[in-house]
């Protein structure tokens, strides 16, 4: 397998060579396996094995830069809104059905379209919970292309945002405000306490 990056500009690509057929696949893996993990095992995770993110702000910056360089969305503020939808879906996934595999993940045996469909379902549940609080509009959807959604899932699937220090989560969300990705006003957007399991 190979990983290409153009450094601070944010682009990262993963390619995989099928050892049995010799074919090179792109848009097949969206991270690299951990030590001792096979490609087939990537994404086959359980929620109780999710770990806290030690540098969430750095992870968010890498995601935003990569998507800005490669996504189907050309305006930075719209990209910030997309990221917020995905992050809220990730947090929602961690809160419920603890005994089931995460839905916010990507496995080598599924397509980016399948990943996006599953994550869109998570975001729909988030909207139903938070639309009355004015966090999201009823007609909001995840509009990022499927490859980008799968890539974000690959970058975040091993981490638990709920197990990560709450101050670190809030600090990481500053990435959106600092980059003025959320809107003309550059709003600071933190997950509401009830989504994070706080009262």
181-188 contacts at long range (C-beta below 8 A, 24 or more positions apart):
181/64, 181/76, 181/77, 181/79, 181/80, 181/81, 181/83, 182/77, 182/80, 182/81, 182/84, 183/77, 183/80, 183/81, 184/77
Angle at 150 between CA 32 and CA 147, to 5 degrees: 110
Instruction: Compute the CA torsion angle 166, 167, 173, 174 (nearest 10 deg).
Output: 170
Taken as a whole, the chain contains a residue count of 199
Say which residues have a Cβ less than 8 Å from residue 69's Cβ, sequence separation at least 6. 6, 9, 10, 11
The residue segments making up the domain with residue 88 are 37-178
Strands (E) in 43-131, as ranges, are 51-52
Residue from 198, 61, 81 nearest 135 by CA: 81
120 in a structural domain: yes
Greatest CA separation for the chain:
54
From first to last of its 199 residues, the chain has per-residue pLDDT tens of 777 666 655 566 777 777 777 777 666 666 677 777 776 676 677 888 899 998 888 888 888 878 877 776 766 667 778 888 899 999 999 998 888 889 999 887 788 999 999 999 999 999 988 878 777 888 889 999 998 899 899 889 989 999 998 888 777 777 765 554 444 434 445 566 666 665 4
How far is the C-alpha of 13 from the C-alpha of 24, rounded, in Å?
13
How far is the C-alpha of 172 from the C-alpha of 136, rounded, in Å?
20
Could you tell me the CA-to-CA distances from 58 to 114, 171, 196 in Å, in that order? 27, 11, 21
161 in a structural domain: yes
29 in a structural domain: no
12 in a structural domain: no
Q: Helix 166-178 crosses helix 76-95 at what angle (to 10 degrees)?
A: 160
143 in a structural domain: yes
Which pLDDT score is estimated for 177? 56
Which pLDDT score is estimated for 178? 54
15 strand-pairing partners: 2, 26
Q: What does the radius of gyration of the chain's CA atoms come to, in whole angstroms?
A: 16
194 in a structural domain: no
Which pLDDT score is estimated for 181? 43
How many distinct structural domains can be found in the chain?
1
């Amino acid at each position: 397998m190979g990983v290409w990056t153009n450094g601070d500009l944010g682009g990262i690509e993963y390619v995989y060579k099928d050892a049995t057929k010799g074919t090179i696949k792109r848009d097949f893996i969206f991270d690299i396996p951990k030590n001792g993990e096979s490609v087939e095992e990537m994404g086959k995770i359980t929620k109780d094995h999710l770990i806290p993110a030690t540098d969430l702000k750095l992870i968010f910056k890498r995601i935003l830069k990569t998507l800005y360089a490669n996504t189907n969305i050309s305006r930075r503020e719209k990209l910030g809104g997309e990221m917020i939808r995905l992050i809220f879906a990730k947090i929602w996934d961690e809160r419920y059905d603890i005994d089931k595999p995460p839905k916010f993940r990507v496995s080598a045996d599924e397509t980016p379209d399948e990943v996006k469909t599953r994550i869109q379902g998570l975001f729909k549940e988030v909207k139903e919970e938070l639309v009355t609080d004015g966090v999201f509009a009823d007609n909001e959807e995840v509009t990022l292309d499927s490859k980008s959604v799968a890539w974000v899932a690959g970058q975040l699937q091993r981490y638990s945002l709920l197990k990560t220090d709450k101050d670190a989560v809030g600090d990481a969300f500053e990435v959106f405000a600092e980059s003025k990705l959320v809107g003309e006003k550059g709003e600071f957007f933190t997950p509401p306490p009830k989504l994070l399991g706080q009262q």
